[in-house]
Structures are given as structure tokens and as C-alpha cells.
A and B are shown apart, each in its own frame.
Chain A
Amino acid sequence: MAITTVARAGAMAALAALALTACSTGGTDAPGAAGGDCAPSDGPVELTFTSWLPGIDEAVAIWNDENPDVQVTVQTGPNGNGGTYQNFFNQLEAGNAPDLGQIEFDALPNFRVQDGLENIAACEGIVEAESQFVDWTWSQVTFGEEDAVYAIPQDTGPMALFYRADLFEAAGIEIPETWEDYRAAAAQIREEGGYINNFSQSDINAFAGLVWQTGGEWFTNDGDAWEVSLTGDESLQVAEYWQGMIEDDLVAKYPPWTDEWNAAYNSSEIWTWLSAVWGANTILSGAPDTAGNWAVAPMPQWEAGESAAGNWGGSTTAVLKGSDHPYEAAQFALWLNTDADALTAMNRTAQIYPATVEGADLPVFSEGVEFYGGQKIYEVFAAAGAEVDPDFTWGPTMTQVYNDVADGFSGALSGSGTLMDALESGQASTISALEAASIPVKE
């Protein structure tokens, strides 16, 4: 008798597991209730906000002082792809996501497809705020839909070349202006015993920034279907360039964002980093012994005299689905990303560059930065920001794209396959992932 009970319980458990997994995620967007209503809540409101910006609590403290009735609690997490997005997806699934979350531009479509974002277009002052933001950032948060705003742009990530001014000068190497120069400099630096750069296996969004600079696109959407072009000409051009650097041992291969990687910069083994404006914070916190020796120059170009730039990262503040107080949350998100004091506070602690038009004129962005030898580094990034192609579109499954391409890049770094192979298999797996999610794809 006891045995049959156990057997039956086992069978039930197996059935339950089958039923749970038998639901395949179908359909893409349930037509969003356009706008809907967005009314203030009665009485005091408490909001939760998850972000990974260093020192974000200082900016939030300003809001909390000014708004005793709407108190925001900050929860910090790892950077988006490092775990926060996964937490958001799990929390959304469980129905207890924070009211507000930091989401990068490249991850927004993924959250939109998963129906994780609250449409805040109907909230007071949100639609009117459009003119305050840099054009391309606004189109990223509306997805071109009518009556829709899914997040407030926070910062952008125009890319430039961080380099060790002292080492370049001591070795008598010119600051590279073209990718050809950059490769030549790489060979010289290798002779000095260093590496010009670290090829990051997992920062696929940085690689996308290089493709972006070259004029390539990974995703296009004509309104009916997605076209995936990880293997476009520009994409392959960038891949071939770096594949050559890897094969000739001109770049280091440390996994990024690790102690080993920081140590390589701190010990002057690696001389440059192609990164976004917020990377200024990464270097000063990861390589403190090199203070004062860094400088920033525009990205190397494919043709001498050009001034194309890529973009890496940049975030938004989104109101996540299920928030009880979308009105207050939207007001906070708008304040955080437009108020001069908040923007200045976030720049001081996290070196981010605001997505608002006027933000660029804040006094903090015309100051020299001590860590960078007193250079007015934001001028370089402002110039780069103006050159970023506004039409680059992110696909709806970027987490999957990053995982798959990173796995391929990892193979390329250890000598099996090439970066081009990685993009090709990424192309195939992305198309099948889109199809698996019933998202229309053009072959």
C-alpha cells in the first residue's frame, strides 16, 4: 500500500512537471492598451528601484528629501547582463518586480517582448518630455509605437579610445587615428611586452559598438518581420580585423570585469580600452594605481579623416509591469534623468553622460577630470555622441544573442573557430530563437 502511494505521488509530480513545461511561449505583443490611464495614488507612496550605477543612492537621496510623500528605496544589483536582467525576468514571472529598474537600451526590446514594461505615456508630463532628450534615445524607448513610452532614457554610451598617455609617450608611439595605425601600434606595444587591448569574449555589446561605428546593423524591423544580419559585411569586416589581432597575439584574452582583468590594467600590461563614456568609472575604480596616466582620444577610423563613432550601453529607467504606483514611478524616472542636480550627482559617482539635450551643458561636463590627467574628457565623448548613427536597432532576444555569440567568441579565443564562425552560428541560433518565440523573421 505504502509503495503504491509513493508511486502515485511520483506520477503526479511528473505530470505536474510536464504540464508546467508544456506551455510554450507563443505570440509576441498582446496589443498594448494604448496609454491607459495613469492617476496619482492617494497618500504616501513607497517605491523600489533597482540599479547598478555606483552611488545612485546619492541622487535618490535628493529626491527623497524633496518628496516626503514618495519615498524611493534603492536596491543595487550586478550590471544588467551580469544578473540584474535575469532577476527582473524572474521577478516579473513571480509578479513581484521592483517598481523601477535600470535597463540598457539593448535589453529594452527583450523586456517589451516579454511584456515586462509599463506604458507610461498617459502619465503627466511624460510625452511632453520628448523634446528634452537626444532624438535617438527617445525612439529607443517608444519603439516607434503610437501613444507609447516604455522607459525614460538615462544616459548614452558614445565610445572613444582610453589610452595610457604616459606609456605611449615613453615608447614614442603615436596615438592611432585609424584602425591600421592601431594594429601597427599593437605590434609595437607587443614588443614592449604589453598588449594594446584585451579582446573581450563576453562584451558582445562592445563588439556591436564597433560594428555600429563601421555602419553595420544587426537587426532591422520593417514593421512586419525582423531581419537578422549578424553576418553583414560591416560585421564581418570588424570580426576579421580582430580575428587577425587574436591570431597574431596582439591582444590579451582576459575575461572582462574580473579581478584578473583589472589587475592587467592596473599593472600596465594593457595600454588601451575601446569603451564608452561610463568606462571612465571602470578604469578609475579598477586600476587605481594608474591615476593621472590615462587620456581619451576619438576611436580609430577605417579611413583617415573620418569621425564615425560607436555606442556601447546607455541605460533607461523603466517602470516595470505590475507596479502599484506607475504615476509616481514615472515622475521619479523623469526627474532622475532630467533634473540638473540628479544628473550632476550621477556623473560624479558613476561618470555617466546624460541622455538629455541640456544635460551636456551642465558645468560638470566642461571640467577636467583628475584621473585622466586633467583632460576635459567629456568633450571627446560629446563629439563622439554627435557622430553615433541614430538608427541602430536592437533585436528582441539580445540576452540570447550575447550568450550564443560569446560562446563562439570563447572558442575563437582558445583557437577553435573564428570570430566570423561565431557570428555565423549566432545568426542561425538567433533566427531559431526568434522563431521559437513566434516572432516573425525574414530569412
Chain B
Amino acid sequence: MQVFGGFTQYVAVFENEAFWSSIGRVLLFGAVQVPIMLGIALILALLLDSPLVRGSKFFRLAFFAPYAVPSVIAAIMWGFLYSPNLSPFTGVTQSVDFLSAGNVLWSIANVVTWVYVGYNMLIIYSALLAIPSEIYEAARLDGASQLRIAWSIKIPLVVPALVLTGIFSIIGTLQLLAEPQVFQSFTSAVTSTFTPNLTIYSTASVPNISLAAAMSVVLALATFVLSFTVLKLTQRRTAA
């Protein structure tokens, strides 16, 4: 029997401690992982774009290749690499527990970074290719070094690409599901409420579909608000 409950499920969402702590966890994850990933992506893109580096075609493909691996497969692969007994590097994994409660979030961050860094690099790289070569010529005539060109010309001109990849990454972070879920079969440290989407998933399996649906709406709104805020903040900065 179903009755119209008005906003009762939404009230329940806001009272649900596990849901909010999972949001807190992915926000922490995003605050650390997104800048690192985009930083690496930017450095790789600048290196590819630099006239000093040979074999840029090969490296471009090599860096991008992990993105072709489905994220579930990537998580399984890394899960085995991290696992204390099944890893090919047991010498490392038996002394450092990558899958402990304290480390597992950052081990997952590493997987996500590995998969997406090439993708973000490619977006930034294509923005670099769109910079007209006259600007570089002018800079070189003024005696600017490659480093100086990168810092003063390339980076400011690819900021829109960085904002775009940043927004994509924030959305991806809030929706983290596949990697932690796969990691549940490698470690006990990933609980059923580890990320917001896992919380929704396990709530739906209770089954409490109404509450899970309300959580999904709240998560979607939160994602929207966060992306929009980041967009506004960065636009104001670039305008100023």
C-alpha cells in the first residue's frame, strides 16, 4: 500500500547521517584528487605541446590508453595490484596496506586518476593546439623562454578547458560508484555507504525505493549546485 507522503522522504534524506557523511567523503576525495589529476593532465599536455619533446604522438596515445579501459575493469585490475596476497608486487603490498580503512579512499583516487588523466590531458592539449602561433612568435621575439611561454601564455589560454574538465571531474566524483563497489570484493573497508551512489544503491536494495529516489534527487541537485558554483566562481575570476 502506498500513500502520498509529501516531503517525508526528503526529510528522511536530510536526517540520514550515512548519506551526508558519504557526501563529505567524496567532497574530501574531490578536493584532493581533482586538483592532482588536472595538474598532472596539464603538465602532460604542456609537455606534449612543447617543441622540445620527441615522440609526442606515441606519448599522447600512451597517456590516453587507460581511458579506453572500462572503469570496472580498471578497478578490478588495480584491486589485484593492491591486494596483499594476490598482487604481483607482494613485497610492497604486504608492507603497505593500500586497502586499509585509512588508505582505501586514496587508493581509489589513484585508480580514478589513472583512468581519467589521459582524457583530461587530451581536452587541454586540444585547447593548446587552438592557440594561434603568432602569439608564440611574438613572445619569442620578446625573448621569452619555453617555461615563460607556458606560464604566461599557454596556461591562461587553456583556463576554459581546465574549468570544463574541472566541472566534469566534480560531477564524476560525486557519482563515484563502480570503483568503490568493485573494491568491496577486495577489502572490508568499503562500507555499503561509502559514496553517495553506493548509499543510494544499498538503500534501494533494502528495498526502500522511495528513500533511494529522494536521495538521488538530492544528489542531483547537490551536483548541480556545486558545478554551478564552481562555474560562477571561475567565470568571475577570468572576467576580472
Q: Other than A17-B217, A264-B85, A406-B191, give 12 A-B pairs with Cβ distance below 8 A.
A: A17-B213, A22-B6, A23-B4, A25-B210, A27-B3, A259-B86, A260-B84, A399-B205, A403-B205, A407-B18, A414-B189, A436-B211
Among B7-15, B23-31, B52-60, B170-178, which stretch is in contact with chain A? B7-15
Report if A413 contacts B (CB, 8 A).
yes
Dominant secondary structure at the A interface: helix
Indicate which residue in B5, B18, B206, B214 contacts A397 across the interface (CB closer than 8 Å). Answer: B206
Report if A38 contacts B (CB, 8 A).
no
CA distance A90 to B217 in the complex (A): 19
User: B41 CB to closest chain A CB, in angstroms?
Assistant: 31
CB pair B207–A89 under 8 Å, yes or no, is yes
Known: A397-B206, A399-B206, A403-B206. A22 touches B187 (CB 8 A): no
CB pair B210–A263 under 8 Å, yes or no, is no
Cβ–Cβ < 8 Å partners of B189 in chain A = 410, 414
Question: Chain A interface (Cβ within 8 Å of chain B)?
Answer: 14, 17-18, 20-27, 30, 85-86, 89-90, 93, 114, 201-202, 253-255, 257-260, 263-264, 267, 397, 399-400, 403, 406-407, 409-411, 413-416, 433, 436-437
Report if B96 contacts A (CB, 8 A).
no
Indicate which residue in B7, B10, B80, B208 contacts A436 across the interface (CB closer than 8 Å). Answer: B208
Nearest chain B residue, comparing its CB with the CB of A92: B207
Instruction: List B residues 95-121 near A (Cβ within 8 Å).
Output: 100-102
CA distance A437 to B209 in the complex (A): 11
CB pair A21–B101 under 8 Å, yes or no, is no
CA distance A93 to B205 in the complex (A): 12
Mark contacts of B188-208 with chain A using CB atoms, 8 A cut-off: 1 yes-contact digit, 0 otherwise: 111111000000001011111
Report if B83 contacts A (CB, 8 A).
yes
Cβ–Cβ < 8 Å partners of B184 in chain A = 255
CA distance A226 to B101 in the complex (A): 35
Report if B67 contacts A (CB, 8 A).
no
CB pair A255–B186 under 8 Å, yes or no, is yes
Cβ–Cβ < 8 Å partners of B80 in chain A = 259
CA distance A411 to B185 in the complex (A): 16
User: A20 CB to closest chain B CB, in angstroms?
Assistant: 6
Nearest chain B residue, comparing its CB with the CB of A258: B185
Cβ–Cβ < 8 Å partners of A411 in chain B = 101, 191
Known: A22-B5, A23-B4, A258-B186. A407 touches B192 (CB 8 A): yes
Cβ–Cβ < 8 Å partners of B100 in chain A = 414
CA distance A400 to B185 in the complex (A): 19
CA distance A86 to B18 in the complex (A): 20
Known: A264-B85, A399-B205, A416-B101. A27 touches B1 (CB 8 A): yes
Report if B2 contacts A (CB, 8 A).
yes
CB pair A26–B5 under 8 Å, yes or no, is yes
CA distance A259 to B76 in the complex (A): 11
Cβ–Cβ < 8 Å partners of B210 in chain A = 21-25
Known: A397-B206, A403-B192, A406-B192. A23 touches B86 (CB 8 A): no
Contact sample, A vs B, 29 pairs, CB 8 Å cutoff: A17-B213, A21-B214, A22-B5, A22-B6, A23-B3, A24-B210, A25-B2, A26-B2, A27-B3, A30-B1, A89-B209, A253-B188, A255-B184, A255-B185, A258-B186, A259-B80, A260-B86, A263-B85, A264-B85, A399-B205, A400-B206, A400-B208, A403-B206, A407-B18, A413-B188, A414-B188, A414-B189, A416-B101, A433-B206
